[in-house]
């Protein structure tokens, strides 16, 4: 990060520091969680369902649990064998949906191939769908009625907000069209009145699109896909990519050193979007717990 900061400083690009924003936001979330405890005697609760023994998923879940501890969210990790059936998962989710100590339910993806993933995600109570992957919440990105936004795209928006980047009327190019990052990011930026193009692996001549971007969001999972010639001078570049290299290092989708010479703002990898994804999960969970407490309070249901 300090080497990246040096390069960016020499070239005039400002680094958007996801770690700093995440730290500030988590402190506010810690205070909000403490407030719920004080006012209602309720601790926000997150249930995490982890199927199988995929090492990367194990690491992601451990990070989420640690972050929950830091802000005062109680977490419950439910580890299931790879052989679990869709039916068993649905039963578990139904039980968590009515568990009043749980305000957020997260199913760590990917799930084994035999599981009906859409059925599992759509079984989660929309008001506990803190990952934002329920069909209702995805559809809400189109119509504007979403309860929870998906965490990584939400984190991208927060980073742009933090850096005071105007979005309205800007040409935005999103590279990557996955359901969890590219498409929802594009929809959320469209909802802020940006002019959005979405590129993907079948896009012909990617550079002819990226060079037009005032804001370029890259989520392809291809190390150094974006090189300086593909970026307009003064563009804002958000690198969502996380690529683990053979030597164990982490690399983004953007060739940072060169692109930082042209960009006005840029996110580093690591230390950009990554810390924000978990932060937005915490934020959604605290939002869910507050909504639960307020609803119970207004109907005088004892908590
Ligand atoms: P994915 O594999 O589901 O989707 C990748 C998308 O990129 C697809 O739409 C594909 O068509 C497109 N793509 C692939 N190669 C391309 C190319 N050469 N040119 C243009 N488009 C191309 O991946 P995903 O889950 O959306 O994740 C994308 C990246 O973001 C990965 O590196 C992943 O690790 C990272 N990620 C980071 C966070 C975070 O918190 N920072 C969260 C989720 C994903």
How does pLDDT run across 189-234, given as a tens digit for each residue?
Answer: 999 999 999 999 999 999 999 999 999 999 999 999 999 999 999 9
Q: Return the pLDDT at 300.
A: 63
Q: Are residues 266 and 190 in the same domain?
A: yes
The closest residue, in CA terms, to atom 40 on ligand 1 is 274
Query: pTM to 2 decimals?
Result: 0.95
Total domains, the chain: 2
Q: Confirm if 47 and 106 have CB atoms less than 8 A apart.
A: yes
pLDDT of amino acid 79: 97
Of 17, 125, 129, 131, which is the active-site residue?
131
In the residue annotation, 208 being an active-site residue is answered as no
Predicted pLDDT at 140: 96
Query: 125-161: b or e for each residue (b if 16 or more CB lie within 10 Å)?
Result: bbbbbbbbbbebbbebbeeeebbbbbbbbbbbbbbbe
Catalytic residue flag (residue 131): yes
- Catalytically annotated residue among 64, 128, 183, 232: 64
Query: Does residue 222 sit within a domain?
Result: yes
* pLDDT for position 9: 60
Please indicate whether residue 30, judged by its CB atom, sits closer than 6 Å to ligand 1.
no
d(Cα 266, Cα 14) in Å, to the nearest integer? 6
- The answer as to whether 198 is a domain residue is yes
What is the span of the domain harbouring residue 81?
41-131
State the pLDDT at residue 297: 77
pLDDT at 302: 56
- Could you tell me the CATH number of the domain that includes residue 80? 3.40.50.10860
- Note whether residue 94 is domain-resident: yes
Shared domain for 96 and 162, answered yes or no, is no
- Mark whether 182 and 238 lie in a shared domain: yes
Mean pLDDT of 60-86: 97
pLDDT tier for residue 237 given thresholds of 50, 70 and 90? very high
Terminus-to-terminus CA distance in the chain, angstroms? Answer: 45
- List the catalytic residue out of 4, 17, 108, 239: 108
Classify residue 300: in a domain, yes or no: no
% of the chain beyond a pLDDT of 90: 92
pLDDT, tens only, 33-69: 999 999 999 999 999 999 999 998 999 999 999 999 9
Q: Does residue 7 surpass a pLDDT of 70?
A: no
Q: Is the CB of 138 under 6 A from ligand 1?
A: no
pLDDT at position 145, please? 87
Q: Report the CATH number that the domain containing residue 226 is assigned in CATH.
A: 3.40.50.720
Residue 26 domain-assigned?
A: no
Q: Are residues 67 and 211 in the same domain?
A: no
Task: Mark whether 122 is an active-site residue.
Answer: no
Q: Based on the domain organization, do 55 and 91 belong to the same domain? A: yes
Q: What is the share, in percent, of the chain residues with pLDDT greater than 70?
A: 95
- Residue 303 maps to a domain: no
């Amino acid at each position: 990060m300090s080497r990246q900061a040096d390069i960016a400083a020499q070239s005039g690009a400002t680094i958007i520091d996801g770690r700093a924003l995440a730290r500030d936001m988590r402190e506010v979330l810690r205070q909000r969680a403490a407030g719920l405890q004080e006012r209602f005697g309720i601790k926000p609760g997150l249930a995490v369902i982890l199927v199988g023994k995929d090492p990367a998923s194990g690491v992601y879940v451990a990070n989420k649990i640690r972050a929950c501890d830091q802000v005062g969210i109680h977490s419950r990790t439910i580890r299931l064998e790879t052989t679990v059936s869709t039916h068993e998962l649905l039963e578990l989710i139904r039980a968590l949906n009515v568990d009043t100590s749980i305000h957020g339910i997260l199913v760590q993806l990917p799930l084994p191939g035999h599981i009906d993933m859409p059925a599992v995600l759509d079984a989660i109570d929309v008001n506990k769908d803190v990952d934002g992957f329920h069909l209702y919440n995805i559809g809400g990105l189109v119509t504007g009625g979403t309860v929870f936004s998906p965490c990584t795209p939400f984190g991208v928006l927060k980073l742009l907000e933090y850096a005071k980047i105007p979005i309205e009327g800007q040409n935005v190019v999103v590279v990557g069209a996955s359901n969890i990052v590219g498409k929802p990011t594009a929809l959320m930026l469209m909802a802020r009145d940006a002019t959005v193009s979405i590129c993907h692996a079948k896009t012909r001549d990617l550079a002819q699109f990226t060079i037009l971007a005032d804001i370029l969001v890259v989520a392809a999972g291809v190390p150094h896909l974006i090189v300086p010639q593909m970026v307009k001078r003064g563009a804002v570049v958000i690198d969502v990519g996380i690529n683990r290299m053979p030597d164990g290092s982490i690399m983004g989708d953007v060739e940072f050193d060169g692109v930082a010479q042209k960009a006005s703002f840029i996110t580093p990898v690591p230390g950009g979007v990554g810390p924000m994804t978990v932060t937005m999960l915490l934020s959604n969970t605290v939002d869910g717990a507050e909504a639960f407490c307020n609803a119970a309070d207004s109907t005088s249901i004892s908590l």
